[in-house]
Amino acid sequence: MGLLERLRKEWFILGIVLVIAVARLEPGVGVKGGPLKPEITITYIAVSAIFFNSGLSLKTEELTNALMHVKLHLFVQIFTLVFFPTAIWVFLQLLSITPINEWLLKGLQTVGCMPPPVSSAVILTKAVGGNEAAAIFNSAFGSFLGIVITPLLLLLFLGSSSSVPFTSIFSQLFMTVVVPLIIGQIVRRYIKDWLERKKPPFGAISSCVLLMIIYTTFCDTFANPNIDLDKFSLIIIVLIIFSLQMSFMFLTFLFSTRNNSTFTPADTVAIVFCSTHKSLTLGIPMLKIVFAGYEHLSLISVPLLIYHPAQILLGSLLVPTIKSWMVSRQKALKLTRQPKAPVKV
């Protein structure tokens, strides 16, 4: 029973492994121009479906409760979309002299440019008992910001495919990301009661569509005879990703718990997860748009595909430790705020 329950929880990670294996066996099915016609079904229909689904599932009313916590929001968004990609860029200048595959290093930079995810940071914050409203707001707000800022960061740090002009990238992003998201929010207003009653599996739907995108991306890779990924580079990238996650989580923890900080222990939990997690759901479709025509697109995607399960695994392992810290810290703060009893003479 324990194994079945674990498989049910980890089905998406297993799905990633499965679709990559299937793509390796028969890349011709999902390759550009192949039977699946990914240049239409994936580039337009699948990406639009993901963001329509996001718009439909996003509880706008929940975000208004957390809206006034401006300092926390600024911290998370500046760390995620300014400090994170800049720190990665500096780090990659040092790694560029190593024999690590250059396309995997470019992929690390794309990870830095991604916005926070709408799901994993919220789930882990809730599991610890942290400020869930702040996590929901920052994940959703970061995703909205990411629609504009992430492509700009990708173009700034990496440049775009020469075959896709800047205006084309943003017009495609607008039509396949922004428009479906807005339509999803409008539709939600009319069927909100039904959605809350039935609770459709929004996460599972997006994940299934995402697996299709990952599958066609790797079909393109394996169909290209010029691409070669060495095991050394892959192992080093996995180690780097875990080290970066630990370092950034520790850094956000230090900043948010310093003496002059006004953040509560519950705020710190939301900050640690929201600032260090990166969105695969937004990331892969955006990479498909911004780097359309790159023969090394799938290699660029590999670090993000590793980062996503790594952040869930690492976050899940740290939940008991962070929860224990938060509870003890809250008790300590409660004791210091209690008025002292008057001394009897």
- Read off the pLDDT band of 91 (50, 70, 90): very high
Output 280 or 224, whichever has higher pLDDT. Answer: 280
- pTM across the whole model: 0.72
227 pLDDT above the threshold of 80: no
Are 67 and 197 in contact by the 8 Å Cβ rule? The answer is: no
DSSP line for 261-280 = ----HHHHHHHHHHHH---H
Contact 290, 301 (CB under 8 A): no
Q: What letter represents residue 332's amino acid?
A: A
Helix (H, G, I), strand (E, B) or coil at 24: helix
**Among 25, 52, 7, 93, which residue's Cα sits nearest to residue 202?**
52
CATH number of 3-327: 1.20.1530.20
Give me the mean pLDDT over the 56-60 stretch: 73
pLDDT at residue 162, as a whole number: 44
Q: Which two tokens stand for residue 277?
A: 């997690």
pLDDT at 177 over 80: no
What is the Cα–Cα distance from 167 to 342, expressed in whole angstroms?
A: 71
Highest mean pLDDT among 132-141, 219-228, 289-298: 132-141
Using one digit for the tens of pLDDT, what is the confidence trace for 297-340?
A: 778 888 988 887 788 778 878 888 898 899 998 888 777 766 55
Nearest to 237 by CA among 283, 285, 304: 304
**pLDDT tens profile 247-265:** 999 999 999 988 777 888 9
